Amino acid sequence: MRVLLDVDGVLADLVGELCRRFPEMREEQVTEFEFAKCALPVPVRSLYEAMEEPGFAASLAWYPGAKDAVHAILAKGHEVAFCTSPMKTSPTWMWERQEWLRAAFPDLPVIFAQRKQWVAGDVLVDDRVQHCDAFAEAGGKSFLIMRPWKPHSRPLAWELAEGVRVL
């Protein structure tokens, strides 16, 4: 199968980096996918300004176990492509994202897509329910990653490993 992997919130710890840059913000305060819907001590505009800065996308950490999960999917004989949304307001985001992924997986394709259901994969692994729903409605299989800072959710690496088993 051809497996499309989202990056932010699935492989890359975007919220963790924001919390590092804004110490007054804590992961458990991010209760919704959209920052604007969360009760955060930092203005949403400030978060986006930080994300748009040169160096932000390059500075993200891989979630523990995420690289291993990618290797495990490959080891099962599946094809893998990274399918990540562009940051249209940043001149550096996409380049940094591509280099970040290439440093770990130089042979895997990187697809920037706002409408992931238009990408011809069999499975989409994503942490945004709208992407998963749209992909499933278009005829694909989707695997929703619950974000680790959601109350009562399981650790992300565990879920990704579970997804690997499902695949």
Contact set with Mg ion (CB under 5 A): 6, 8-9, 127
| Rounded least distance, CB 4 to Mg ion, Å | 12
Closer residue to Mg ion in complex, CB, 32/75: 32
| Rounded least distance, CB 13 to Mg ion, Å | 11
Does residue 120 contact residue 2 with C-beta atoms inside 8 Å? yes
- E-state strands within 93-157: 110-112, 123-126, 141-144
| Rounded least distance, CB 90 to Mg ion, Å | 16
Query: Would you give the DSSP letter of residue 25?
Result: -
| Rounded least distance, CB 77 to Mg ion, Å | 25
Alpha-carbon span 56 to 157, nearest angstrom: 23
Closer residue to Mg ion in complex, CB, 9/148: 9
Question: In terms of C-beta density within 10 A (0-12 exposed, 13-18 middle, 19 or more buried), how is residue 137 classed?
Answer: exposed
Closer residue to Mg ion in complex, CB, 116/164: 116
In the chain, helix, strand, coil percent, each to 5? 45, 15, 45
Closer residue to Mg ion in complex, CB, 24/114: 114
